[in-house]
Amino acid sequence: MTKRILTFIAGMTAALSMAAEDLPAIANIYARPHQSLNGKWSYIVDPLENGYYDYRLKPMEKTGFFENRKQTSPDQLVEYNFDTSPQMEIPSDWNSKDEQLFMYEGTVWFKRDFRLDRTPGKRYILYFGAVNYEAKVWVNGKKAGEHTGGYTPFNFDITDLVSDGDNFVVVKADDKRAKDNVPTVNMDWWNYGGITRDVLIAELDDTYIADYSISLDGNSTSRISGWIQLNNEIAGKDIILEIPELGISEKCITDSSGQAAFSVRAKPALWSPDNPKLYDIVLRYEDSDIRDMIGFRTISTSGKQILLNGEPVFLKGISIHEEAPFRSGRAWSPEDAATLLGWAKELGCNYVRLAHYPHNEHMVRTAEKLGLMVWSEIPVYWTISWNNPGTYANAENQLTEMIRRDRNRCSVIIWSIANETPHGEARDRFLSSLSLKARELDPSRLISMAMEVTRADNGVNTLDDNMNEYVDIISFNQYVGWYRNTLEEARTMKWVIPYDKPVIISEFGGGAQAGLHGEVNARFTEEYQEELYIRNLEMLDKIDGLAGLSPWILMDFRSPRRQLPYIQDFYNRKGLISDWGLRKKAFFIVQEYYGEKRPETPDDAGK
Ligand code: GCU
């Protein structure tokens, strides 16, 4: 009996300790008092994970690399040493930072020292913008927590793990692909591993504002509403919402769940690509203030039109991978965001598809400032393990973390739950559940997914996907002139999309090596790509209800599926711009098309 009780208690303790680690990522972390842990981290490459498992593959409780052990006497055996190991600038992916790790997939350990002068009563939160793919984190040798998913933020309350003065954090980052992961084992982008986004420690009061939602009240343009959530379930607490430029100073009071709701009359200037107006807002709780910049807009559909602030809008877009311009590797910084999105603006875009996973927060915030609407996507990509409950839970968690981080970003208008997934009952169950979850988490935005043309015979392309009822926008990828059909056939192609919803072509395009010139029928020449764009734009323009495009893709990006020597060299060359920033001829075809493009309006039909 005793043994069974002890086993049960151990199980509960383990569950509780896991639960204690599970702190939803804090909203708008950059606006909190914090110290950055970006910079040089020591790292140890560990392909057999012997810093975590013993030789019988049992996790080591005390003697793993997370201990950051030092040899204190000549006769002591310690077979690792962070202090004499190489260092890497973080954030970064190890593939582009250490040429021995270019193709490496597995575990790399990272260690960083940091000093802390604690203030009594304060909480200390260790925050990661992302670690690809699985992170285990220890502080001063004690477990802080774990996270799975390579593209969303997470954090741990380390208040009870830190001390005044010197501390250290150790991260076990493991980017091994696995069939049941999200994404699964095959994808057309480089599996950049490591601590790929900002790391920081925030200092917060014992009770603090953990999350909030501030937006127009549904499709009303004369009321701002939302809620503010404390980390503790305390009722009767005053929180002040200030929007000085609108003359708003609204006191709201928390309920028993620690959440304060508000709804105020207001007539803000509406955010749009032509007027990306953002308002300074301040949230005051006791003696702490949180500042943010928030834009107010409505997004909806009506039949085959997308309406921004009630007006038809044509999404003049481009797809973008989180590939760093010029240097390659994982993009992560405000400077990378400014370059990539600056190129999208130069192209004439009012919209970007951030593929195939949530990009870093700087991308979404920079898009707001530049006036770019955003499609944000979770990496439910290709042949996911549709029947695996753990895979679904992982996908739903990444969806939840994506929405939680960006719910206040007016640039985000579309949540995408998948890309090019094979039809089937299990996939339909998986995706319909995800769609319902997205609607539950955020009823204010549009839902979509990149589908595929299901039938193409005798020049008629039909899109027939059960998921049509679970999306607000019918989006699909097509590669006429690259993976199928000829450029000549593009002239007469017909498209059948039997749904009364707006249509976005979420991908089309073809490859070209910047600077390679030749006949228009010669693959990978700029002339071929240019002709492909001319033919595709002519063809797609005829689609009834076409409400937007996001051609594939802004910039060449690394992919392990692109092996053609001297042309691809592990780059997907469908960029309109090369990885070195060279604009290819097709760039100017799209720029011209967008220059003349405006939304279809009902009276256009009569012309
Ligand atoms: C697919 C896929 C992309 C891929 C592209 C290509 O549509 O969605 O991730 O990179 O085609 O083949 O270049």
Q: What is the pLDDT of residues 17-51, one digit of tens each?
A: 333 357 999 999 999 999 999 999 999 999 999 99
Alpha carbon nearest to ligand 1 atom 4, residue = 188
478 CA distance to ligand 1 centroid (A)? 10
User: Does residue 572 have its Cβ closer than 6 Å to ligand 1?
Assistant: yes
| Residue 21, pLDDT score | 57
Q: What is the DSSP track for 329-374? A: SB--SHHHHHHHHHHHHHHT-SEEEE-SS---HHHHHHHHHHT-EE
pLDDT of residue 565 exceeding 90, the answer is yes
Give the nearest ligand 1 atom to 482 CA: 12
Antiparallel, parallel or unpaired: β 259-265 and 154-157: unpaired
Cα(393) to ligand 1 centroid in Å equals 25
Nearest CA, atom 10, ligand 1:
188
State yes or no: pLDDT of 336 exceeds 60: yes
Residue 572 alpha carbon, nearest atom of ligand 1: 13
The chain-wide mean pLDDT, for the chain, equals 94
Confidence category of residue 13, pLDDT binned at 50, 70, 90: very low
- Nearest Cα to Cα of residue 365 among 403, 393, 398, 337: 337
**Number of Cα atoms under 13 Å in the Cβ half of residue 361:** 25
Q: Cβ distance 368 to 410 under 8 Å?
A: yes
For residue 419, give the ligand 1 atom closest to its CA. Answer: 8
Percent of the chain surpassing pLDDT 70: 95
Residue 4 pLDDT: 56
Q: Is 574 in the pocket of ligand 1 (CB under 6 A)?
A: yes
* Candidate from 173-182, 190-199, 455-464, 598-607 with smallest mean pLDDT: 598-607
pLDDT tens digit string along 213-227?
A: 999 998 899 999 999
Question: What pTM does this model have?
Answer: 0.94
**Domains in the chain, CATH or no CATH each:** 32-205 (2.60.120.260), 209-299 (2.60.40.10), 300-596 (3.20.20.80)
User: Residue 16 has what pLDDT?
Assistant: 39
Q: Give the confidence band of 62 by pLDDT, cuts at 50, 70, 90.
A: confident
Which pLDDT band holds residue 458 (cuts at 50, 70, 90)? confident
Q: What is the pLDDT of residue 5?
A: 52
- CA 449 – ligand 1 centroid, Å: 14
- Ligand 1 in contact with 552 (CB < 6 A)? yes
502, 600 Cβ separation under 8 angstroms: no
506 lines ligand 1 (CB under 6 A): no
596 has a pLDDT exceeding 60: yes
The residue to mutate among 188, 553, 567, having the most atoms of ligand 1 within 8 angstroms of its beta carbon, is: 188
- Predicted confidence at residue 600, as pLDDT, reads 55
The reply to whether ligand 1 has any atom less than 6 angstroms from the CB of 188 is yes
Quick one: which H or E segment has residue 498?
none
Residue whose C-alpha is closest to residue 379's, from 575, 185, 103: 185
The stretch 238-243 carries a mean pLDDT of 98
> Do 202 and 124 contact (CB within 8 A), yes or no?
yes
pLDDT at 145 exceeding the cut of 70: yes
Q: Is the pLDDT of residue 237 over 50?
A: yes
Task: Give the closest residue to 479 by CA, choosing from 468, 463, 490.
Answer: 490
The residue whose CA has the least distance to atom 6 of ligand 1 is 188
Answer positive or negative: Cα dihedral of 516, 519, 522, 527: positive
Q: Cα(240) to centroid of ligand 1, in Å?
A: 47
- What is Dmax (Cα atoms) for the chain? 90
Q: Which residue has the higher pLDDT, 124 or 7?
A: 124
The predicted pLDDT at position 364 comes to: 98
Residue 504: CB partners within 8 Å, gap ≥ 6? Answer: 315, 317, 448, 473, 474, 475, 546, 547, 548, 549, 550
Predicted pLDDT at 61 = 87
**First and final CA of the chain: distance in angstroms?**
84
At 65, the pLDDT band (50, 70, 90 cuts) reads very high
At 483, is the secondary structure helix, strand, or coil? coil
**Residue 140 to residue 127: CA distance in whole angstroms:** 16
Per-residue pLDDT, 19: 34
What does the pLDDT average to over 382-396? 98
Q: Tell me 470's DSSP state.
A: G
Q: Enter the DSSP assignment of 182.
A: S
How far is the C-alpha of 593 from the C-alpha of 543, rounded, in Å? 15
Looking at residue 151, the DSSP 8-state letter turns out to be S
Which 8-state DSSP code applies to residue 26?
P
Half-sphere exposure of 229 (CA within 13 A, CB side): 14
pLDDT for residue 545: 85
Please report which confidence band the pLDDT of residue 492 belongs to, taking 50, 70 and 90 as the band edges: confident
**Which pLDDT belongs to residue 381?**
98
Provide mean pLDDT across the span 594-605. 64
- Give the pLDDT confidence score for residue 280 in this predicted structure: 98
Ligand 1: centre distance to CA 188 (Å): 6
Whether residue 224 contacts residue 243, with contact meaning beta carbons closer than 8 Å, is answered with: yes
For ligand 1, atom 7, name the residue with the nearest CA: 477
